[in-house]
Every structure is written in structure tokens, then in C-alpha cells.
Amino acid sequence: MSDASALRRRPELRCTAEISRYQRAWFAALRERVADGEPFAVLSADSPHEIYRAMDIPYVVVQWWSSLIAAKQLGPRYLSTLASAGYPDTLEQYNALPFGELLADDPGTAPWGGLPRPTILQGALSSDSMRQLYETWARRSGAAFYPLERSVDVRWKVEADWWEQLPEHWDEFLAAERLDLLTDELTGLIHSLERATGRRFDETSFAEAMRLSNEQARLNRGTRDLVARTVPAPVSAGETMPAVMIPQWHRGSGWARDAARLLNAEIRERVEEGVAAHPGERLRLMWLGRGLWSSLGLYQHFQERHDAVFVWSMYLGLAADGYLRSFDGGRDPLRALAARFVPVGEELRMPTWSSAWHLKEAKLHRIDGVVSLGEEDFFSVRRLEEAGIPVLSVRANNVDRRTWSEAELTDLVDRFIEERVWPARHERSA
């Protein structure tokens, strides 16, 4: 695999460029604020950004920054920096890349001038090594580390239709002790942040951030539904990934809500005018697992080759189904925020939930074939295959280019489309 050959994404939407431009300007401004001595937080994707938003503490989400590192082809370099400092380079790469950048200490070659040194690190303890990784990172950077526990759904019977229940009925659908735990942790976090930064947590700003993030989630639902029911699809997954995710990292801001609205409006306009990602669309594909941020163009390659369009990725799917938590009727917005994060990850990795959701989304989007990368997907594969939708499972890590190459992957998917997707499609229409 040669880095220079990385497939570039051809733009489909106007707003994606606008959103990306904003992101650059926002990051430049953030660097200035941090240079002026403001606190700076680096947060894992599954920690409650909305609190930092409400307190106006500048923050960057680890996973976004890691995807940028990957896009700039700097992943291998930072991983080897980790290894030569004595840290593992084959575990938690997605979380560890920015730590590798810190150790490499070479802002000249880092993306966008480099991630400023954090004063606050926050991560949910979602894996066996998250705590050690973040504590090490905190020691080496001088940041304060605020961990959050990740509790387990220990019930023996759980309902599968989380996407229906969570938005309105989260307080009954989730176990009370798990909500209590995270709500209490967040209460403590707020006190700690107030003390550490001298900033006050303002309930009104927070409720507003929660309202805006709910609005954003509703807009994303609308967008997802448009993509799902329109054939040929107005937009491909390679396009929606950045267009959805950048605003997700600004969740709770007016800009993020407006960006989601812009995206929704442009897609609606395309639907109305009959503009498609690929007018000759004959097959619709689903990308299961983390995205190939360093070669978004890869998704579009199959359009020319097979008239096959990747219409689904979990990014828009989760943005549509995973974040909405109403707190009307006097419900506590902080508990609603806890309800947003208590089940994070379970939607994607708890088989009862993930397999049901993947099937529901595949049917909604009229999917012909699924490519699954680096996922523990046994139950999803089984249910999709049972429904007549073939799945190609690839063992690789999206940000670790040592584990896959574009050439190999294209080859695999090409063959998969020819040997499995088309025959299954013919069988269904017969």
C-alpha cells in the first residue's frame, strides 16, 4: 500500500466543504485561546462534551483528532513513537494516537499545527486499558484526568428496540442504578471542573446545550430517513461521514445544530431535484464498523466499478438514533445527559442491541450487501445473512494502516459484490 495513492473523496455536497472550513477556523481559534492560557480538555468520544460546552471550556474529541492523524497518514509514525517510549502500539490505537503525537513532540509535522497540550483529560473506562492509557497520558502531559465508570447492563432480559425507546422513555428503559451512577459522577465532575477552571457551571446554558443537541439529533433522524428511503441515494456514506461527524463533535452548540440543518436541507433539495450520489445506482451497500477516514474515496470507488453505493455508515445511523434524550415534563437535563452516555457502545457492541439495529437499518435502507471491518459482528452477520443480505467481514483496524491496504480491500469488496451481492440480489428479486 502506498500512502500517496490514498483514494480521495470526490465532493457530493456543498455543505461538507463549508463544514470542514468551519472546523479549520474553529481549531485555529481554539489554539489561540489555549495559547492565551485558557484551559483545554481532550475528551473521549463517549464522555459528556455537553458539560464542557455549557462551561465554555475549549475541548477536542480524541476520536476526531485521531481520524485527522489517520487522514494525514501520520498514524504509523505516532504508533512507533509510542512503542519506542515503551508503551503498547497495538492496543487502543484510536485513543492512543494523540498521546503518540504528544510524545513525538514535533508540531511542525503534526496535523493543523498540532494538538495543544491538554490541561484536562477525560475518558470513560470502556476497555481494560483505558484507565492506564489516560493516566499515563495525564502524567506525561501534566493534565488532570477525570475518569468516568462504564457500568454494565446486567439484566438477563433486555428489550432490543432501543432506538424506539431511549429518546423518550430512557428513564424506564435503562436501569436506575446505572443512571444514578453516571448522574452522580457528572455532578462530581461539574464541581471538579468549577474548581479546576474557576468557571461556573450555568444550568441555563446547560439546558440550552441539551436542547440544541436534541434538535441536532432530530435533524439527523430526518436526514437519515431521507437517505434511507430515496433510491438512488442522494448522498453516499463517504460524504455523510465528515458532514455528520464534524457537527457531532460540536454537539450542543448553535453552529452544530445549524450545520445539521444545512446538511438536511441540501439533501432534501437533492431528493426533490432528483440528484443522486450515483445516478446509475443498482446496489446499496452498508459499511459496518469504524470508517476508513484516511481513504474516504474508497467508498465511492465501487460506484464506478459496480454501480454499488455505500449508503449507510454507523456515523449518520447513530447520530440519528443514538443521541436524542427528551427531558420535557420537568425531567433533569443532567440525568438525560447521563441517559445519553450510559448505553453508549452498547448500541454497537451488545449483540442483543447491535444485531437488531443493524438489521433494522439494513431493511430501512434497502441494503443489498454489508462490508464489516474490524467488528465483533457474529450476531449481526447471522441476522443479516438470515434476512438474505450477504456480509463480508474483514479483520483490520481502521486507523492502523499496517493492518489493511486499499488495494487488498478493493479487491475483496470487488469479489464480494460479484460473487455474493449480485447473486443474493437476483435471488431476492426472483
Partner 1 sequence: MTQVDERSTTDGSRVAIDTVTSGRPWTEPLRSVYRAPWVAARRWREQGGRVVGLLGGCAPRELIMAAGMLPMRLRPAALDAEPPAPLPDGLARELTPSTAAVLAALWGGGLRWIDALLIGRDCEAHTKLFYVLRELAAERPDRLPPVAFSDMLRLPSRTSARYNRRRLADLRGVVGGWAERSISDAELVAAVADSARTAAALAALDELRIARRVSGADALLAAVAAQMLPGPAVREALAAAAGPPRTDVVPVFLTGSDLDDTHAYEAIEQAGAAIVGEDHGWGDDGREVAAATSDPLDGIVDRYQFSARRSARAGLERVVRTAERVRRSGARGVLQVIRPDDEASAWELPALRAALPDLPVHSVRLAQEDRPALREATAEILSTIGAIRV
Residues paired with residue 121 on neighbouring β-strands, in sequence order = 42, 145
Does residue 158 belong to the site contacting partner 1 (CB under 8 A)? yes
Does residue 75 belong to the site contacting ligand SF4 (CB under 6 A)? no
Residue 25 cell numbers, joined: 477556523
* DSSP helix/strand/coil, 7: coil
Distance of CA 309 to the CA centre of its chain: 20
Residues 113 and 94: their CA atoms lie apart, in Å, by 20
Residues 106 and 123 sit within 8 Å (Cβ to Cβ): no
**Footprint of partner 1 on 100-139 (CB under 8 A):** 125-129, 131-133, 135-136, 139
Q: Which of 377, 404, 413, 421 binds partner 1 (CB under 8 A)?
A: 377
C-alpha count within 13 angstroms, C-beta hemisphere, residue 58 = 20
Residue 237 cell numbers, joined: 456514506
Does residue 293 belong to the site contacting ligand SF4 (CB under 6 A)? yes
Query: Over 136-178, what HEC string results?
Result: HHHHHHCCEEEEECCCCCCCCCCCCCHHHHHHHHHHHHCCHHH
Judged by CB, which is closer to ligand SF4: 183, or 398? Answer: 398
Q: What is the DSSP letter of 236?
A: -
The partner in contact with residue 125, picked from partner 1, ligand SF4, none with C-beta cut-offs of 5 to 8 angstroms by kind, is partner 1
Find the angle CA(363)-CA(368)-CA(369) to the nearest 5 degrees: 105
Greatest pairwise CA separation for the chain in angstroms: 68
Count of positions on this chain that bind partner 1 (CB under 8 A): 44
Judged by CB, which is closer to ligand SF4: 23, or 230? Answer: 23
The partner in contact with residue 68, picked from partner 1, ligand SF4, none with C-beta cut-offs of 5 to 8 angstroms by kind, is ligand SF4
**Footprint of partner 1 on 331-370 (CB under 8 A):** 349-352, 355
Of 9-17, 156-164, 216-224, 414-422, which part binds partner 1 (CB under 8 A)? 156-164
Residues 210 and 333 sit within 8 Å (Cβ to Cβ): yes
Q: Which of 44, 66, 67, 183 binds ligand SF4 (CB under 6 A)?
A: 67
The partner in contact with residue 151, picked from partner 1, ligand SF4, none with C-beta cut-offs of 5 to 8 angstroms by kind, is partner 1
Q: By rule CB under 6 A, what string of x and - marks binding of each residue 221-250 to ligand SF4?
A: ---------------------x--xx----
The partner in contact with residue 245, picked from ligand SF4, partner 1, none with C-beta cut-offs of 5 to 8 angstroms by kind, is ligand SF4
Q: Which of 25, 28, 35, 152 binds partner 1 (CB under 8 A)?
A: 152
Whole-number minimum distance, CB 68 to ligand SF4, in Å?
Answer: 4
Residues 217 and 19: their CA atoms lie apart, in Å, by 17
Calculated CA dihedral for residues 348, 353, 358, 363, nearest 10 degrees = -160
Q: By rule CB under 8 A, what string of x and - marks binding of each residue 179-218 to partner 1?
A: -xx--xx--x------------------------------
* E strand or H helix that includes residue 61: strand 59-61
Residues 139 and 122 sit within 8 Å (Cβ to Cβ): no
* DSSP helix/strand/coil, 267: helix
Positions touching partner 1 (CB under 8 A) are 85-88, 91-92, 125-129, 131-133, 135-136, 139, 147, 149, 151-152, 154, 156-158, 177-178, 180-181, 184-185, 188, 349-352, 355, 376-379, 381-382, 393
Positions touching ligand SF4 (CB under 6 A) are 20, 23, 64, 67-68, 71, 242, 245-246, 293
